[in-house]
Amino acid sequence: MFFIYFASLIYLFAAQGEEESFEDDDFLMPPPDDEGSFAHPLHRTYLEDSYCMDGTKAAAYVFEGSTDDLIMYFYSGGICIEDSTKFLKYGDYIYIDNCTHRNTTFYGTSNGYPEEFNANQGLMGNNKYQNVHLRKAHKMFLMYCDGNMWYQQMNSQVFKGALSQMKLIPKRIILAGSGVGGWYLVNKYNELRAAIKEFYQEEVELRILLDSVIFDISRNQDIVDAYTEATKRAGITMNDIFSFDALLKVDIPTFIVHSQYDWWQLEISDGFECIGKIHLDKCTPKEKKQIEKIRLSILQQLKDLMKAKPDWGLWAISCVFNELVIWTESWNHPKFQIPMQKGGLLSDKFQDWLENRGETNVHYDIVPWPDNKPCSNIFHNGKTDPQLDEMIRNYEIKESRSKREEKYDL
Ligand SMILES: *[C@@H]1O[C@H](CO)[C@@H](O)[C@H](O)[C@H]1NC(C)=O
Ligand SMILES: *[C@@H]1O[C@H](CO)[C@@H](O)[C@H](O)[C@H]1NC(C)=O
């Protein structure tokens, strides 16, 4: 089953102690006799001189691996602004809330972060089933809690402190980030590179992995205004985020992971009510045409970027999704491949790029939705997979739970 598609980490955290734990799910349970199938939890640590919005210490989750690779992952979570009344109708999934409210949530305080995080997956997973190539890498999952696109809680000093908590001298560091976490890397890679050099006193091979960073928000003035407010507060400009100009400046080999039908882009930013998070089934031919235009325009820019950056890589799938690297089902699952079912797993393609092998490191679906059939979950006769209904049902349950929690301030 597939139902964590839309669950953000907040639900995974919340689900940890509950009876309906995700671990009961067949999908997440590796076959029992699979070598290295035991998933180890990540351990909470606090970062020196780094604070969340409410003044609590910023935190990270650590996995002590056994190879020379270190993955530092910057989580996503949008922004906070002064007045979010325009966005309340979208619920939590817009990831834009007011700072007073965010102060009290998972994205504003480390109060309530559990000591162990055992629902880590994908790139942050440490068994073969979740993360076949990088399962043994050392990992730090950095939690985002400043509402300020990382600009408040992170800097070179904090980053060096984070490195000092990792028990290895890495040969290679993968700086990974989703959403605003990715944009922080795009803007600060130079400082982070200098911090790494200073800390280890030697050259360490550096790679960047950006997940779900490409958005065109230009058609939604409210979202433009919100991000303008947040970028001003952070001391950067709008051209520093969501922009190909900013990406072009990066001089570290970078791998971009992108959903060609990112639901945040289509449903939230572009306002297509037909999206339903994981499919376009309810969209009219006219809506599908508009969506195609958006998809192809972003894809063209990605292709141009790849031409300008021969040592970069791309994996852009025609599935309705958002954030692909920290979920096993998109990182390392046969349903998510480019080209479909032909050995095009994200985890494999990323590894090929990392090891400088593979004929090409640029992978994108040329077919529109739903023609990458395994991930669109559509049978050939056009009927939906019963799994899809299950997913939607579970999504709705979770959404109503989050509303409930909000209401009672749990
Ligand atoms: C702040 O967010 C809370 C919770 O989403 C909402 O109830 C409140 O109306 C918001 N206030 C402003 C000024 O945006
Ligand atoms: C967040 O909470 C802290 C501590 O309770 C408080 O000092 C601060 O003013 C709050 N910030 C906002 C934006 O509400």
For residue range 247-277, what is the model confidence (pLDDT) as tens digits? 999 999 999 999 999 999 999 999 999 987 6
Beta carbon of 98 within 6 Å of any ligand 1 atom: yes
Dihedral (CA of 141, 77, 391, 334) sign: negative
Which residue, among 336, 356, 355, 335, has the nearest Cα to 346 in the 3D structure? 336
Tokens of 91: 């619920």
Average pLDDT, integer, range 36-40: 66
pLDDT band at 342; cut points 50, 70, 90: confident
Q: What is the DSSP letter of 268?
A: I
Domains held by the chain: number: 1
Could you tell me if the CB of 103 is within 6 A of ligand 2? yes
Considering the chain, what is the average pLDDT of its residues? 87
Average pLDDT (42-71) is 97
The predicted pLDDT at position 12 comes to 55
Please tell me if the CB atom of residue 99 comes closer than 6 angstroms to any atom of ligand 2.
yes
Q: Which residue has the higher pLDDT, 119 or 380?
A: 119
Asked if residue 103 has its Cβ within 6 Å of ligand 1, the reply is: no
User: How far is residue 318's CA from residue 315's CA, in Å, rounded to a whole number?
Assistant: 10
Q: Which residue has the higher pLDDT, 278 or 103?
A: 103
Choice from 83, 86, 88 to test ligand 1 binding pocket (greatest atom count within 8 A of CB): 88
In terms of average pLDDT, the best of 17-26, 84-93, 184-193 is 184-193
Distance 82 CA to ligand 2 centre (A): 12
Counting atoms of ligand 1 from 1, which one is nearest the CA of 83? 14
DSSP at 143: P
Indicate the top mutation candidate among 53, 81, 85, 104 to test ligand 1's pocket, ranked by most ligand atoms within 8 A of CB: 85
Mean pLDDT of 221-227: 98
**Is the pLDDT confidence value at 19 over 50?**
no
Q: For residue 240, report the phi and psi dihedrals to the nearest 5 degrees.
A: -85, -15
- C-alpha 348: how far from its chain's center? 18
Per-residue confidence (pLDDT) for residue 378, from 0 to 100: 54
The residue contributing the CA closest to ligand 2 atom 11 is 100
d(CA 289, CA 383): 21
Q: Is the distance from CB of 210 to CB of 185 less than 8 angstroms? A: yes
CA distances from 283 to 3, 79, 104, 216, 279 (A): 21, 29, 36, 20, 9
| Of 290, 298, 275, 284, the residue nearest 376 (C-alpha) | 275
69 close to 146: Cβ distance less than 8 angstroms? no
Per-residue pLDDT averaged across 119-137, rounded?
Answer: 94
Closest CA relative to residue 316, chosen from 260, 277, 374, 400: 260
**Of the candidates 114, 104, 9, the residue with the CA atom closest to the CA atom of residue 59:** 114
Q: How many angstroms does the Cα of residue 153 sit away from the middle of ligand 1?
A: 23
Measured distance CA(278)–CA(207) in Å, rounded: 30
Residues forming a β-bridge with 206: 173
Q: Is the minimum distance from the CB of 356 to ligand 1 under 6 angstroms?
A: no
pLDDT value at position 92?
87
Please give the structure tokens belonging to residue 333.
Answer: 């699952």
- Distance in Å, CA 213 to ligand 2 centroid: 29
Q: Is the pLDDT of residue 6 over 60?
A: no
Distance CA 156, CA 212 (A): 24
User: For ligand 2, atom 14, which residue shows the shortest CA distance?
Assistant: 100
Q: In whole angstroms, how far apart are CA 261 and each of 9, 278, 343? A: 21, 9, 21
In angstroms, the Cα distances linking 220 to 83, 198, 266 are 17, 42, 11
- Containing structural domain, residue 208: 2-407
Q: Give residue 322 CA to ligand 1 midpoint distance, Å.
A: 25
The answer on pLDDT for 35 being more than 50 is: no
